[in-house]
Structure 1
């Protein structure tokens, strides 16, 4: 293939002919390609697959992380031990393209790898690497660890993604009409375009669209503007020129705010998140319109086809047999990792996602007595599994993970698993009856894991956040705890309210229904599978991006 004059490798559906490039720090495409950490990557991976399904004129641009995010292993006492292992991928193609970009006022070589559509059924994808012999050691490390803890390295990574990705499109003579930034990490692409178009911001705006995933201002990344300038983030603009574009006087450069002022249109990732984002950002002048496009996941990749088939056939016996088999298969992983033997007949709750403070992984344990009572109930037994990766430098979340491990030593029906990536995620969704999600409202922008759980016959138990308000019908397709007064109550009171309500729903609705009304329970599972199938399939989402954004 001639990458210097790249052409789309499949014929384009005329409904999706707008030429688009999508920039993201992470993509979860296949278990074997470890370049993602959590929800942002799961979302981006599904988007790439749906772009392929719909034959859109669409390419993905990311970074080839040499050590991935990290590999989650255990210390001798079972607690968390992050390790970094060099990754190798024979299925990526060397494009032969190498070029230089400026980082920290010095030229850095960038090498480009290609993921062909047929490998994992995605749109064409390109991955950038600085780990080449021509670079000095420091430059090589830019693409070593996803979300590196060092601030300068992190800024260099954003420059690699944005400036490197935009320059790659020029190197390939591959004209794009839309530059879609999935989060503000790739924002240097906008400054690259600004220089390319001789400072014409209106021309940049025509091309730039932006997806924000962070529902609170503090969570949006800010770095010292002088550091960013010294790192060559702004492609030659002076600090005063940048401040004029960003519209802020102080020295904290707010990546998301700047993206909202340089983009033609932006979106939040659920209806609720769109509302929250508009409230949060509208106090600033000159920002673009913020729409809502709810995240989704690719049905073809995630859904258990046999479960759906038995449901369509109205064969409840085979449906139950299949679900029991999926549970049994997932429980082999539990036994392998923890030595605990779980029973497929027992109601199984799973909490699995990225560990972060606001997601409150250990909320159920805040009432130790109630937790112990639930886990020791012989008449209506419960099994519970936790899994997920804390950020390797987030010591609060690591401590939560380790506390759960310690607690699990007291219960043979509680397990904490490591290695939460695509493969384990799929197994746990298939092996769970209840997918537990209890973030503080409205901190979860979307939270897509519950969608793929529902695609595998698992019922959501959630606080009313993210995508849940668009999906949930309490007692019909899911269970939702009532809302606390999140505006006026102190955090401790909110947590207590949510904790009590989670237990109320578990003890009085979910557990009795599962054991005493199996037909009613199966109906809830079926309704959940029906309701998630189309509306939360990423084909719908990829279609909406074209219609509403591009």
Structure 2
């Protein structure tokens, strides 16, 4: 156990682990995350604390966070970068030095003590300190900087400085866990230390999170070498270790070659990953450990209590209360008053094109007819942050904002961070998930929504098929369009989605409250314990760390 742990370690979880991640969503006040990867890492840290595991997080202290989501004078998306100050962090009085692009860069370490937010201890790294020149200070300014030199520099800081800080603290982890490939430079730093690939491999495990190209980063190998990505390991040696002989170096392939075992984040994603990387010789095994979320943090206690005590009236009125709290936020941001009696559909997650935020309105005429239906009214809320330099995603966000101008039962909210995410999950009746099939690795937002009595309506991708009992605890949008051109796929998926809403879900909500209540109760009880992160962090120990 390290001196950073304020809790007694459970013997079952005594193996020491350093968990490296670019982002952690631990608390609303600590804005160092963008989306699902961070939410997942946050739940991991909370459950590691709950189960008293010997784990320490290694992350980055982003001076400007991801970005602040605001509106311009016409209410379209406005991206702002504001410096954050955190007086609750503990300065560890440790500065380490890393070489980036042939230059010395100094990295300072700060601690998020475990008692602060009830999470395992978290060390955050910053280059934004007086010892560095301006350029070096900008390395830890913005999460996922769009400049590839800065981006690679961030990865070197996370991996190499992270490993060096642990050494300074006299912490010698038995396992280094890379949450996504960003911290890969750490493996070359370890190789430099042990000069033996087997010694490195037995200490390293890797979680791959996405089949998306953007999430499986590639860079020119000479550029990486020049930047110092491989510590002082020669290019020839890097090629030997990773088997990568091309000019483009894939971080995911590198990670699969430098680890003893890797995992995908749902059963489907396990199949997709094994197929994707099947041609890589000598890669480690890829198993699947399905993502999960921390119930203690996400689930509304009163809702769970009403469920436990079989108090249906209480369950119903509590859900209405939670809807009112969300609708106060809607009114505050948009000037629209929503009613807790009306079926409320929410689409909220990172605004990426493949997640198809606009799928619901694909057939605009049919969509507007649904919005105008007086007998069976609906309310729809969108929220999410597009990547600040992704014009396509920003345009979709602004299109939906434009559409919302003429409908009083449509709202687009800004500021999709932990607090708003919590309000949306607690206030939603239907949690809508519409990615292009096989492109979603896990889709954890639906788990925390289900914990709060929101019923999932999702494409059969990610975690959903492992959870779904069709019509009993959730609903699935059939996808006949696999393999067809994108336009045709979207048309068919939209038709299936609207058919389910109009013929199944809306009538169920208004005409069969007893059955609706039953689906809602099953949604809450089925998601726990299988998709509570206590199960997940236990599996990481048994299947990965101790393997």
- Cα distance in 2 for partners of 1:359, 1:54 equals 33
Picking from 536, 540, 543, the partner of 2:531 is 536
CA offsets 1:321-345 (integer angstroms, 9 cap, x no match) = 1111110110011011111110110
Question: Who is 2:378 aligned against?
Answer: 382
- Cα distance in 2 for partners of 1:138, 1:226 equals 21
What count of residue pairs does the alignment treat as equivalent?
A: 545
Give the deviation of 1:305 after TM superposition. 0.9
Whether the 8 Å contact between 2:379 and 2:409 is mirrored in structure 1 is yes
Question: Who is 2:36 aligned against?
Answer: 39
Picking from 490, 494, 517, the partner of 1:495 is 490
Whether the 8 Å contact between 1:194 and 1:204 is mirrored in structure 2 is yes
Query: What is the TM-score of this pair, normalised by structure 2?
Result: 0.98
Question: Who is 2:297 aligned against?
Answer: 301
Question: Who is 2:54 aligned against?
Answer: 57
CA offsets 1:418-442 (integer angstroms, 9 cap, x no match) = 0000000000111110000000010
Question: Who is 1:420 aligned against?
Answer: 416
1:135 matched to 2:139? The reply is no
Query: What is the TM-score of this pair, normalised by structure 1?
Result: 0.98
Question: Who is 2:518 aligned against?
Answer: 523
Question: Who is 2:253 aligned against?
Answer: 257
**Structure 1 residues 298 and 205: alpha-carbon distance in aligned structure 2, compared to 1, 3 A threshold:** same
CA offsets 1:287-345 (integer angstroms, 9 cap, x no match) = 00000000000000000110111111111111111111110110011011111110110
Question: Who is 1:314 aligned against?
Answer: 310
- Cα distance in 1 for partners of 2:347, 2:327 equals 15
Question: Who is 2:467 aligned against?
Answer: 471
- Cα distance in 2 for partners of 1:219, 1:496 equals 27
- Cα distance in 2 for partners of 1:70, 1:365 equals 27
Question: Who is 1:432 aligned against?
Answer: 428
Whether the 8 Å contact between 2:263 and 2:288 is mirrored in structure 1 is yes
- Cα distance in 2 for partners of 1:146, 1:302 equals 24
Whether the 8 Å contact between 2:481 and 2:488 is mirrored in structure 1 is no
Whether the 8 Å contact between 2:481 and 2:492 is mirrored in structure 1 is no
SS in 2 for 1:397: helix
1:394 matched to 2:356? The reply is no
- Cα distance in 1 for partners of 2:213, 2:416 equals 28
1:176 matched to 2:173? The reply is yes
Within 5 Å, give how 1:161-240 maps onto structure 2.
161-198=158-195, 200-216=196-212, 219-240=215-236
- Cα distance in 2 for partners of 1:7, 1:30 equals 19
- Cα distance in 1 for partners of 2:361, 2:4 equals 55
Whether the 8 Å contact between 1:464 and 1:482 is mirrored in structure 2 is yes
CA offsets 1:168-226 (integer angstroms, 9 cap, x no match) = 1111110100000000000000000000112x111100100000011245641001111
- Cα distance in 2 for partners of 1:396, 1:288 equals 36
- Cα distance in 1 for partners of 2:524, 2:140 equals 39
- Cα distance in 2 for partners of 1:404, 1:268 equals 33
Question: Who is 1:246 aligned against?
Answer: 242
The answer to which of 411-420 and 308-317 deviates more is: 308-317
CA offsets 1:454-495 (integer angstroms, 9 cap, x no match) = 111100000000000100011100010123252x32222221
The answer to which of 229-238 and 133-142 deviates more is: 229-238
SS in 2 for 1:389: coil
Question: Who is 1:274 aligned against?
Answer: 270
- Cα distance in 2 for partners of 1:7, 1:404 equals 46
1:509 matched to 2:489? The reply is no
**Structure 1 residues 118 and 278: alpha-carbon distance in aligned structure 2, compared to 1, 3 A threshold:** same
Within 5 Å, give how 1:14-163 maps onto structure 2.
14-163=11-160
Whether the 8 Å contact between 2:4 and 2:113 is mirrored in structure 1 is no
Picking from 383, 402, 405, the partner of 1:406 is 402
CA offsets 1:128-164 (integer angstroms, 9 cap, x no match) = 0001111000000000000001100000000000001
Whether the 8 Å contact between 1:51 and 1:122 is mirrored in structure 2 is yes
The answer to which of 412-421 and 210-219 deviates more is: 210-219
CA offsets 1:510-548 (integer angstroms, 9 cap, x no match) = 000000000100100000100001000001000000000
Unmatched 5+ stretches in structure 1: none
1:457 matched to 2:459? The reply is no
Whether the 8 Å contact between 2:5 and 2:114 is mirrored in structure 1 is no
- Cα distance in 2 for partners of 1:404, 1:479 equals 24
Give the deviation of 1:238 after TM superposition. 2.1
- Cα distance in 1 for partners of 2:364, 2:480 equals 22
- Cα distance in 2 for partners of 1:485, 1:338 equals 36
- Cα distance in 2 for partners of 1:169, 1:218 equals 30
The answer to which of 215-224 and 287-296 deviates more is: 215-224
- Cα distance in 2 for partners of 1:187, 1:414 equals 43
Give the deviation of 1:242 after TM superposition. 1.5
